[in-house]
Amino acid sequence: MKTVTVHASVQYDVLIEKGSLARCGALCANVFEPSKATAAVIADDNVAALYLEPVVQSLKQAGFSVCTFVFPHGEDSKSHEVLLHIYDFLIQNNITRSDFLVALGGGVTGDLVGFAAATYLRGIRFVQIPTTFLAAIDSSVGGKTAVNIPAGKNLIGAFHQPSLVVCDPDTFSTLTPEIFADGCAEMIKYAMIWSEEFLQLLESCDIQERLEEIVAYCVDIKRQVVEQDEHDTGIRMILNYGHTLGHAIEKVTNHAVSHGQGVAMGMVLITRLGMKLGRCDAALLHRLCSVLERYHLPFHYDGALSELAESCLHDKKRSGSTIRLILVSTAGKADILPMDTAELETILKGELPC
């Protein structure tokens, strides 16, 4: 088993091991007292059909009382409606502060259940059991929780760290190749912003054979960033590499482009923009495109860049008329570059090198 310990406002372990799902009860018993705590396990319908039973059995075997709640899969469920149903379910099952929630699933479940945990009874503890590659390496660690509102994604949220993360990479075997690839975009992001050595590994290894090691590598990078800036006022922003333009691409394509695909194209565009500003060279762009291709991710955006500029102006990471761009100057090193939105618009209306 690989263990990454996160020292944030709460200290917790991220446990990564194939087959750990069926042992999650015993792992939770190291953190919570089974005779005193009920585990409220929440999953979407896809994940429940595949993994709810072994999780419930394992928790019961460890001595926990267990109750379950299943909601429809998809981003639309990260809503106030589903959140209210979760609160009702918790009240009906007499869940108190000595109990804990279990978010079993992808990033939608983790964000939604994490936000329920942050707000129910002014905050109770919760465990993340990520089942997508993206949730394992990104959303289950770091304590950002949220729901969406019609005005935008993740606009209502809270920082609330989990008490434990149990990651079983065997669960990725049931993901579609497209959903797995979405996680690969975030994996490549970590290498680009933080570690040339990790990038080299991704350029050469068979990740299916080294999933535990790769997840641990990514989680450890996120740990280092989050420990320095838990509340996202400084260095944590580098995790947005590729995201400002990626979100814009997702938006202008009406989400025909997935998050991972958007981030992949966003990383390429921001690198081309960096080249235009003289902050990186063509060799870096070539390296990025090759590694994206290796993981079946797109790197060419063929829509109009001027349309993206308009969408960037509404980016929630903007402060006043300044937007913070994350640029990678050399593999493994990211910088935050504040830029006036008008300047970004002018650059995107011109030609970018390729």
CA 158 to CA 145: how far, in whole Å?
5
Q: Which is nearer to ligand NAD, 111 or 230 (CB)?
A: 111
Q: Which is nearer to ligand NAD, 50 or 201 (CB)?
A: 50
182 binds ligand NAD (CB under 6 A): yes
154 binds ligand NAD (CB under 6 A): yes
Among 38, 119, 132, 240, binds ligand NAD (CB under 6 A): 132
Annotate 224-264 with DSSP letters as a single string: HHHHH-TTSSSGGGGGGTTHHHHHHHHHHTTTSS-HHHHHH
Nearest approach in angstroms of CB 244 to ligand NAD is 14
240 binds ligand NAD (CB under 6 A): no
8 binds ligand NAD (CB under 6 A): no
Nearest approach in angstroms of CB 154 to ligand NAD is 6
Task: Mark the segment that binds ligand NAD (CB under 6 A) among 1-9, 70-78, 267-275, 324-332.
Answer: 70-78
Q: Pairing between strand 100-105 and 38-44? A: parallel
Among 105, 246, 266, 274, binds ligand NAD (CB under 6 A): 105
78 binds ligand NAD (CB under 6 A): yes
Nearest approach in angstroms of CB 170 to ligand NAD is 9
Q: 3-state SS of the chain: helix, strand, coil percent to 5?
A: 50, 20, 25
Helix (H, G, I), strand (E, B) or coil at 343: helix
Task: Mark the segment that binds ligand NAD (CB under 6 A) among 129-137, 213-221, 287-295, 339-347.
Answer: 129-137
Nearest approach in angstroms of CB 148 to ligand NAD is 8
Among 25, 106, 246, 298, binds ligand NAD (CB under 6 A): 106
Nearest to 133 by CA among 319, 302, 260: 260
191 binds ligand NAD (CB under 6 A): no
Q: Which tokens go with 70?
A: 């299943």
Among 67, 75, 313, 333, binds ligand NAD (CB under 6 A): 75
CB 61 within 8 A of CB 85: no
Task: Mark the segment that binds ligand NAD (CB under 6 A) among 24-32, 80-88, 174-182, 278-286.
Answer: 174-182
44 binds ligand NAD (CB under 6 A): yes
Strand positions, DSSP E, the chain: 2-7, 11-16, 38-44, 65-71, 100-105, 125-130, 144-149, 152-159, 164-167, 322-330, 333-340
111 binds ligand NAD (CB under 6 A): yes
Residues paired with residue 149 on neighbouring β-strands, in sequence order: 152
Where do we find the tokens 């434990």? 164
50 binds ligand NAD (CB under 6 A): yes
Torsions phi, psi for 290 (to 5 deg):
-65, -45
Residues paired with residue 5 on neighbouring β-strands, in sequence order: 13
> Buried b / exposed e across 172-202, counting CB within 10 Å, b at 16+?
beebeeebbbbbbbbbbbbbbbbbeebbebb
Among 26, 31, 46, 347, binds ligand NAD (CB under 6 A): 46
- Binding positions for ligand NAD, rule: CB under 6 A: 44, 46-47, 50, 73-75, 78, 105-109, 111, 131-132, 134-135, 138-139, 142, 144, 153-154, 171, 174-175, 179, 182
